[in-house]
Amino acid sequence: MDGPVRTPSDAEIATALEAVRRIGGDVTEPETLATTADMLAEAARLAAPALERIADEMTGSAQGGPAISAVHDAFLACAVIRDRAAAHLDPVLGALEGESTAKAALLDIAARAQRGTRLFALLPLPDGRTPVCVAAPARQTLAWPLSDAARREVDAGPRAVVVMAFMATCLQQFAALLQNAFGLTAAEARLAATLVDAPTINEAAERLGVAPVTVKERMRDLLEKTGATRRSSLAARFTELVAGDYTRTHARAELMREAFGLTRAEAKVAEAVAEGLTTPEIARQHGVSPHTVRSQLDSTLARTGAHRGADLARIVAETCALAAWTSGGEPYPADQRRLIAATRLIVRHDRRRVAAADFGPPDGAPVLHFHPNLCFRWVRRAFADALAERGLRSIGYDRAGCGLSDPAAGHHPFETAAEDAAAVLAAYRISRVRLFAGLGGAAAAIAFATRYPDMVESAVMLMPRAPSEEPVFAGPIQRFYSGVLSMPGTGERFADALRRTGSTRFWRWLQSYMLRDVPADAETSRDPAFLEERLGEMNAAISRGVKGLYAWEQAYKAGWPRPARVGGRHWTIVETAAKPFKSTRSVQDTWAWLPGARFVKLHDAGRLATHTHAPALAGLLAGDRTTLGSVRLTG
């Protein structure tokens, strides 16, 4: 956005708000979307304060974004309370039946929630842990990710209250998850899981049966491996692993005000503590004295029930996760269980975190996926399964600023993507790899093959985007896309407002409209299983990737010079019936300079070729001559 920031008029703010609300409502016709796209473009020209107003209006105590049903079952536990009695307790909470104090606390939380809207509280457990829980009358929980048994009890009769607790640290699986995700030893993983909710170092040592000095010594290695700056930021790192693709939001401070009645200053302190800042750092950031920060921190601890900063950081992280899963009126299911199990968080030398996902098989020949814009470490099940059948191991990763990967301010996005890819392969101890690049992932794949040519065995690029080419969508969607991209700096906040007010009806229609031209795509867009996976992926991506998307688009528009040397024995370029980019040259003219370039056309495939034609693409990556013989070579 060029020019000085100005205060928008009430009419301009109304225009922006109406654009967001229409997108979240019944926008299911091309003409209506076209009108909304024009409104969005107008909204894009407004100054930042308009978007601040939009974000504030969309974050009310009873409002929020679509609930995220894509939750690993083990990390949440539900209780259904009716007539001051437990009508249902998920297994983890079932242990409270014999604990009068803890059960009384649960019933008290439910009673308070019965009188109002969504309520956050700490649930004291017999072992001293205090997970965050959220409670609301049953009528407000239609989109909450409840267990099947809990949902049946909710539907059984009126006057029920649902209490949902974030229980990750209470479960044995949590340590195993941390061990896999951060490359920890078993002892480090147990320590990590304990430190998240142990009130003190001494308490953590007692639970582990070791001396406090041993905990302090091991904690140094733990911080190094996780990229956390101090113990207080471990909770956010670990909770994000379960829910972070959805819960990163600018509204954390506002959420803490809603949940625990904090003042604005206290909420900002809570947010800073969750980020791992020290008292002097918070004082410098907020322009106040350390004494003032300590006073605000003391009052924040008292209001939240936290024992100290590390406990407060955990409460902030768990509250954000619960808020994401219990907001709005429609769920966004996705294959999150599979994604969490495959995720690895890699800390680079500059302490930037890069998120990757290894979908196996462990002994397979590795294929590194370079995803298109606004997509990340997901490798869709159909494609990963087809590759596994060929003995190939799928590895995806989040680009900087997307998913769970940290931003890389001031660096060229293609070069950063290449360096991050190398860090991922080093963490997995892979020295040679095959590349798969879809659409806008082509630039990152070529950058990697240029910087690390000896690591590349071969490559397949599906509908690759060439330098300076612009994406092509159906008319109104093109204007919608351009409107979002026209808001550097504020587009991320606007996209977050869109995400939190969007409806599955709109996103489902958008997919069917975009994918209507190729029969294979149109048929797939009607498949409920595929659509649920797609919707969950889109929702997570738009939550985290708009800033990165803008940088990626700018880099493509600037173009890049043809490299002198690119690794790989041969590069296979795959066309389909879809034409996703504007181009004045043929595919052969554009990419013939790549090593061993060969060109393939999948005539009946479209934008969803990795789903509809997964076996054929897997055969190309495996170098199968039979596959090459079964598809048309175009050059």
The three-state secondary structure class of 567 is coil
What pLDDT score was predicted for residue 11?
59
Asked if residue 10 has pLDDT above 70, the reply is no
Q: Which residue has the higher pLDDT, 447 or 633?
A: 447
| Strand segments (E) across 386-432 | 392-397
Asked if residue 432 has pLDDT above 60, the reply is yes
**Residue 555 contacts residue 414 (beta carbons within 8 Å):** yes
Q: What is the pLDDT of residues 110-146, one digit of tens each?
A: 888 887 778 899 888 877 778 888 998 888 887 777 8
55 — pLDDT class (breaks 50, 70, 90): very low
Alpha-helical runs (H) found in 198-263 = 201-208, 212-226, 234-247, 252-260
| Alpha-carbon gap, residue 468 to 466, rounded angstroms | 6
| Alpha-carbon gap, residue 75 to 168, rounded angstroms | 4
- 89 is written with which tokens? 């307790």
Asked if residue 434 has pLDDT above 60, the reply is yes
**Residue 276 contacts residue 351 (beta carbons within 8 Å):** no
What pLDDT score was predicted for residue 50?
46
| Alpha-carbon gap, residue 503 to 508, rounded angstroms | 9
Amino acid at residue number 91: P
Asked if residue 79 has pLDDT above 50, the reply is yes
The partner residues of 366 in beta bridges, in order of sequence, read 393
**DSSP 8-state class, residue 97:** G
**Residue 118 contacts residue 326 (beta carbons within 8 Å):** yes
The three-state secondary structure class of 343 is strand
Q: What is the pLDDT of residues 494-518, one digit of tens each?
A: 555 555 554 556 667 677 777 888 8
The helices-and-strands tally (H runs, E runs) of the chain is: 30, 14
* 558 membership: H or E segment, kind and range: helix 546-558
Asked if residue 446 has pLDDT above 90, the reply is yes
| Alpha-carbon gap, residue 127 to 133, rounded angstroms | 16
What residues have CB less than 8 Å from 344, skipping those under 6 apart?
180, 181, 182, 183, 355, 356, 357, 358, 427, 428
What pLDDT score was predicted for residue 46?
45
What residues have CB less than 8 Å from 395, skipping those under 6 apart?
356, 357, 358, 359, 366, 367, 368, 369, 379, 424, 425, 428, 430, 433
Q: How many CB atoms lie within 10 A of CB 3?
A: 7
Q: What is the pLDDT of residues 362-396, one digit of tens each?
A: 899 999 999 886 667 888 888 999 999 999 999 99
Asked if residue 4 has pLDDT above 50, the reply is no
Burial of 585 (0-12, 13-18, 19+ CB in 10 A): exposed
531 — pLDDT class (breaks 50, 70, 90): confident
Could you give phi then psi for residue 397, rounded to 5 degrees? -150, 155
What pLDDT score was predicted for residue 574?
93
What pLDDT score was predicted for residue 222?
86
Q: What is the pLDDT of residues 411-426, one digit of tens each?
A: 888 899 999 999 999 9
DSSP per residue, 223-241:
HHHHT-SSGGGHHHHHHHH
- 26 is written with which tokens? 């019944």
| Alpha-carbon gap, residue 17 to 51, rounded angstroms | 9
What pLDDT score was predicted for residue 627?
59
| Alpha-carbon gap, residue 63 to 346, rounded angstroms | 35
Among residues 146, 71, 53, 60, which one has the least CA distance to residue 500? Answer: 60
| Alpha-carbon gap, residue 149 to 152, rounded angstroms | 5
Q: What is the pLDDT of residues 322-377, one digit of tens each?
A: 887 776 545 554 556 677 778 888 888 777 889 899 998 989 999 999 988 666 78
What pLDDT score was predicted for residue 49?
47
